[in-house]
């Protein structure tokens, strides 16, 4: 670890503490050259896949966008924030365990629809009607029959 004060390459760990949740390690360090102390934090780095949009553009996975889309579909529905957070977490976990470096936006949309179908059928229909952009009423009827 390089010293932030003198940029010397050698530092010594003086103290190590783990956070209460166990997800962060705090290390107190001392530079062996200038003798100044500083703190570093270690957290696991989790790499979520890039989202590949229909036009081929790539974007970072954004949980806020997923949550926002779900909340819009769930507007005025009796679903708690905890249920939405759990659904977003399940989507995130599926992406992480999949191990892919990229995921198609269509796959992401399907995951959102699956979660909405699980927690609220009306929200599922709302989301699907926009996401699938139905051409006629018969397609929409078929979706409702499938539920």
* Domain spans, the chain: 11-42, 50-146
pLDDT, residue 105, reads: 92
pLDDT at 58 over 90: yes
Rounded Cα distance between 12 and 31, Å, is 6
Q: Answer whether 29's CB lies under 8 Å from 20's CB.
A: no
Lowest mean pLDDT among 24-33, 42-51, 71-80, 105-114: 42-51
Rounded Cα distance between 67 and 54, Å, is 20
Stated pTM of the model:
0.64
Angle, helix 81-98 to helix 63-73, in steps of 10 degrees:
140
Longest dimension (CA), the chain: 76
- At 38, list the tokens: 């500083």
pLDDT, residue 140, reads: 65
């Amino acid at each position: 670890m390089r010293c932030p004060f003198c940029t010397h390459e050698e530092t010594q760990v003086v103290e190590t503490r783990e956070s209460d949740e166990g997800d962060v390690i705090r290390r107190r360090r001392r530079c062996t050259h200038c003798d100044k102390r500083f703190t570093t934090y270690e957290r696991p780095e989790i790499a979520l896949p890039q989202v590949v949009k229909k036009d081929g553009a790539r974007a970072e996975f954004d949980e806020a966008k997923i949550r926002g889309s779900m909340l819009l579909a769930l507007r005025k529905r009796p679903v708690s924030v905890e249920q939405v957070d759990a659904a977003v977490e399940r989507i995130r976990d599926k992406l992480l365990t999949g191990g892919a470096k990229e995921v198609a936006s269509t796959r992401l949309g399907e995951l959102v629809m699956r979660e909405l179908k699980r927690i609220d059928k009306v929200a599922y229909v709302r989301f699907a009607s926009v996401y699938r952009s139905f051409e006629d009423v018969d397609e929409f009827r078929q979706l409702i029959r499938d539920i």
